[in-house]
Structures are given as structure tokens and as C-alpha cells.
A and B are shown apart, each in its own frame.
Chain A
Amino acid sequence: MKLQENLEKVSIPFDVYKVREDFPILKTTVRGNPLVYFDNAATTQKPISVIERIRKYYEQENSNVHRGVHYLSEIATKEFEAAREQVRKFINAEFKEEIIFTRGTTEAINLVANSFGKTFIGQGDEIIISEMEHHSNIVPWQLLCEETGAKLRVIPFDDNGELILDELEKFLNERTKLISIVHVSNSLGTVNPVKKIVEIAHSYAVPVLLDGAQSIMHQKIDVQDLGCDFFVFSGHKIYGPTGIGVLYGKKDLLEKMRPYQGGGDMIKSVTFQKTTYNDLPYKFEAGTPNIEGAIGLRAAIDYLNEIGLENIAQYENELLNYATEKLSQISNLKLIGTAKSKGPILSFILENIHPHDVGTILDYEGIAVRTGHHCTQPVMEHFKIPATTRASLSFYNTKEEVDRLVQGIQKVIKVFS
């Protein structure tokens, strides 16, 4: 085990062209042009190792977990639990039972809102979120507030897209029960100072949930170092399959929380008089889980470990700087989200040209970007814009692809001139 851990730390020089060979879909052509995939914040492409691992599961290991006494069930259970252990190591959680598999980030937040919420939050209590949250970190809390009579407090951000932390301290009081906040904004790219937020929150004994959907693939996450009480992310945004996600929660909190859904696997015994819930993490995993998803997620983590998150962070940052410089040179283009610390996400607007038209014309060029409000309508409202065009980068993107984006944008401007 020691050797394996050491091997993971050995950094191999990063070669983007070699890395691209691992992703079959990157060879696609769109309308006669090679695909430029800049919609990585929506979902990432999958390396061949993930695709093949899932194939192997269905060809050789498919069975239900935690149930059968037969050979295949044992193999499937072993692989499923090995995936959990790999996730634990990946985010450096203390205990394996702190890793709960969900459908994704959204379900993980809903789980906490329902379970933590209904255990600890009542009438007049307060929950703090921020103005830059994805709808999935707004609506579950609004639903909870409607049900319990709790109140939502919203930390604003400034015009660069940086949180105004002074406001956080003003909100914290004895009624504050939870801070649920995004680590990296999906529409602005802002990397929030979450470690500091956790420190402030904990000085008021308030637990913190970090939405890591847009941070987990860009930097090494260490939940113990961050000190957060919950950390959530989706598998499909870290090069794994869709339909699998993770809720990390501190054991003592998870133990106190009531179950989220009832069903098989989450119970120890059931009679019509009394049901005894299962231990962690199974208490929160009712029904047959996404076995293929967990196993695929493990393959994705193995892949990321192989490339090295330090290499990824360094390369993506270089690419972000290059793209920021190039896009800034385009007159009539305004970047939305100019925080000092950013993930590789570039949201922008073009004067008098609607993002949806930008997206369609870029699509003609084979360039995939996201246009719209990115499920962050309050962010759009802040800047008084209906939508942005967003290019979100990955370590398999190249500077040449950024150049093609720039050319594509120039074409957009020409069509509308």
C-alpha cells in the first residue's frame, strides 16, 4: 500500500497531446470541423479506461451488491466497496463510512437538506448560502425553509464575482444552523476562500457544506484540511459516468441525522412494529445503488491520480491565463467573473449579441460552449444580463483550441456587424 501511495505521487511530465489520445470522443468532427469541447463544467468527457472498466463490469462482474452469497455478488460488492475506499482516499476523508454514494451533487445536497435539515433545523432557524449558488444549492434550502419556517440568508458578491465576506459575519448568530456554499462558481469561475469560511463558521459552531461540483476536478481536495462538515460532488464532472455522486459527511453528524430515503439496504431489521436502520454509510443508501457508476468513478479517480492533480491544476491554470488574455483582447467582449482566484471557467458577453446566437455560430465551427444562465439566475440578475456564453476548460484542451474559440467569436462579431 505504501508503495502504491508513493507511486501516485511521482509526477510524470504533462503532455496534452498524449492525454488527448485517452479520450476517444475528442476525435469527433462536428459539421466538418474537429470538435472543440469547451463545455466541461457541464460534463466532462470520459477516458477509455473508464469506458472499458464499465464494459468489464457488465461483461464479467454484474450482480447486485450486499445481497447474494454467490460469487458474482461477492465480486460486485468488493468492487463497489473498493470504489468507496478510493473516493475516501481521493478526498482524504478519515473514515470510509463517511462516503455516501448519491446520484450526483444535486441529490447529495437534497439529502443533507432533508436529513440534516429535518433533524436540526426548525422554525426561525437560519441557513446561509451565497448569491453565486447553483440552483441546486438554493432550491433544496428554500423547500426546507417552506416546510420548517427557517430563513435563508444570502452572502452577496461584488462585481468581480468575489464574495463579500464581511456580510457573512453579520449573518452568523445563534440561530444559524448551516452554511452551504459553492467552492468554485460554475458561472463565474470564482474560487471561494472556503477554508476561511469554514474557520469563521466553526468559531460560531456552525457546520459547513461545500458544493465541490466545480472544484474537485481542478485541485486536490482534502476534506480534513478544509475542515468542512459536508463535501459534495458529481462523478460525471470528474471524467466518470453520470448518475453517481458523493456526499462526504463527518461521521458524528451523519450518525445523528435521520435517513433520507427508506428501502432495502438501509435497514438492519424490519418489523411492522419497529425498523432498525443500518450503520453508515448504508443508512443513506436505500435501494440498489449505481454499481456501474461507483466502479466507473473509481476508474476515473485512478485516471486522475495517474495524470496527477498537481499537473492538471498547473496546466489548466496556464490555459486559463492564456484564454483570459486572448478573450480580453476582443473588443466588445466583456468577461463576467474576474475574481483573483479562478477555476478554468470563462463566462462572457458580447455587446448587442445574444449568447444563444454566439453558441449557435460557434457550434457551426465545431466548438461546444454553454449558453444561458447556467442554473445561476441570481448571478445573471446581479449583472443585469439574461445569459452568458461560457467556455469551461479541461486539461485535455489546448491553446490551439482556445485560438479557434477566438476565431469563432470573431466570426460571430462579423455575422452581426
Chain B
Amino acid sequence: MSDLRELYQEVILDHSKHPKNYHKMEDATHKAEGYNPLCGDHFYLYLKVEDGVIKDISFEGAGCAISKASASIMTSIVKGKTIEEAQKIFNNFHSFVTGKVDKTFDPNSLGKLAVFSGVSEFPVRVKCATLAWHTLINALERKSEIASTE
């Protein structure tokens, strides 16, 4: 049960039930679709980027608690960040959830994203935690294809 609580931390459950920035954005400058065929997680991400800064970001769609919470937390973290900063956060987060960080790595340096620490124990769930981020990168790179973590 302790492991279970680690994966489904209260913060994750809260974000999945009451996601932040959960709406469509009509005047988005960038948007992208993310889809994980294995579990059916399916999100649309909207961004307003000005001078290399993410001024606004929102998402909508459906997915498991992990993917939805990850999308919600991501939007609150990258809002106001530059594209480069967002990319850097994703790189660190990706290493973290795939267990590729060394022992000296301080999860707290990831801020709110540290709640996904339990995910690295579950390789199949890494895809859920990173779907929104892959979608974000696609949106920023203006790739037209659907982001997928498959």
C-alpha cells in the first residue's frame, strides 16, 4: 500500500480531479494533440507564445489520473517560462521518471513534479506521465503529427 500511495499521491489525485488550465484556447498560437493508444489517453494542448515566452497554456481531453495530473501540473509550471526553460524542465523530468538520474539528484529541484517519483517504478506508466510533455514539445516545434509516447 505504501508504494500505491507513492504513485497515487494526494497532489496527483487532486490535479486529476480538478485539473488546472483545463479549457480550450481559441486564440492559441501553437497547439498539438497527444495520444497514447495503449491506454487511450488523449489530450489537446493550447499555447500562446510571445517572444519565445509561454504566456499562456491550457489543455483538454481525457486520460488516466497520472496523465491528467501530469498535464495539469505541467501547464502550471511552464506558464511564464521561455521555450528553452520548458525544454530543460522536460529533460530533467524525463530523466527522473525513467530512473536515469544519479543518486545525487535532488527530486525537490523539480518542484511540484517531484510527486511523480513513484512512476519510475512502473515502466508502463512512464508514458502516461510524459504524454503532455511530448505534446508540448511537438506544439513548440510546430510538428503537425500527433504526439505519442508509444
Which residues of A376-402 are within 8 A (CB) of B? 380, 386-387
A359: min CB distance to chain B, Å: 9
Is the pair B39, A387 in contact by a Cβ cutoff of 8 Å? yes
- CB of A380 within 8 A of CB of B66, answer no
Chain A neighbourhood of B63, CB < 8 A: 354, 386
Question: In the docked arrangement, what's the CA distance between A413 and B91, Å?
Answer: 34
Across the interface, B4 reaches (CB within 8 A) one of A354, A355, A415, namely A415
Contact A360 B13, CB 8 Å, known A373-B40, A386-B62, A387-B39: no
Interface residues on A, range: 10 to 19
Known: A364-B3, A364-B4. A416 touches B65 (CB 8 A): yes
- For B42, the closest partner residue in chain A by CB is A386
Would you give the 0/1 interface string for A346-390, flagging 1 where the beta carbon is closer than 8 Å to chain B?
A: 000000111111001100100000011100000010000011000
- Chain B contact residue count (CB 8 A cutoff): 22
Bound Cα distance from A354 to B128, whole angstroms: 12
B7 close to A (CB within 8 Å): yes
B114 within 8 A of A: no
The distance in angstroms between the C-alpha atoms of A177 and B112, with both chains bound, is 59
Which of A31, A355, A356, A416 counts the most B-chain CB atoms under 10 A from its CB? A356
Q: Which of chain B's residues has its CB closest to A386's CB?
A: B40
B39→A360 contact, CB < 8 A: no
Specify which chain A residues have a CB less than 8 angstroms from the CB of B105 in the assembled complex.
none
Total A-B pairs, Cβ < 8 A = 52
The answer to the question of B125 belonging to the interface, with a C-beta cut-off of 8 Å to chain A, is yes
Determine whether the beta carbon of A357 is less than 8 Å from that of B65. Answer: yes
Q: Nearest Cβ distance between residue A42 and chain B, in whole angstroms?
A: 13
On whether the beta carbons of B4 and A372 are closer than 8 Å, the reply is no
Q: Does B8 contact A (CB under 8 A)?
A: yes
Residues from chain B with a CB closer than 8 A to the CB of A380 are 40
**Chain B residues within 8 Å of A353, by CB:** 65
- Given contact pairs A364-B4, A415-B8, A415-B13, A372 touches B39 in the complex (Cβ within 8 A): yes
Q: Are B13 and A416 in contact (CB under 8 A)?
A: yes
The digit string for B7-45, where 1 denotes a CB below 8 A from any CB of A, is 110000100010000000000000000000111111000
Known interface pairs A415-B4, A415-B8, A415-B13. Does A360 touch B122 (Cβ–Cβ under 8 Å)?
A: yes
A372 touches B38 (CB 8 A): yes
Determine whether B64 belongs to the interface, using a CB cutoff of 8 Å to chain A: yes
Q: How far is the CB of B117 from chain A (nearest CB, A)?
A: 15
Q: Do A354 and B13 have beta carbons less than 8 Å apart? A: no
What separation, in Å, do the CA atoms of A31 and B8 have in the docked complex? Answer: 17
Among B8, B40, B65, which residue has its beta carbon within 8 angstroms of that of A387?
Answer: B40
What are 30 pairs between A and B in contact, CB < 8 Å? A31-B3, A353-B65, A354-B39, A354-B63, A354-B64, A354-B65, A355-B39, A355-B40, A355-B64, A356-B40, A356-B64, A356-B66, A356-B125, A357-B8, A357-B66, A360-B122, A361-B4, A364-B1, A364-B4, A371-B39, A372-B38, A372-B39, A373-B37, A386-B39, A386-B42, A386-B62, A386-B63, A415-B4, A415-B13, A416-B13
Chain B residues packing against A (C-beta within 8 Å): 1, 3-4, 7-8, 13, 17, 37-42, 62-66, 68, 122, 125, 128
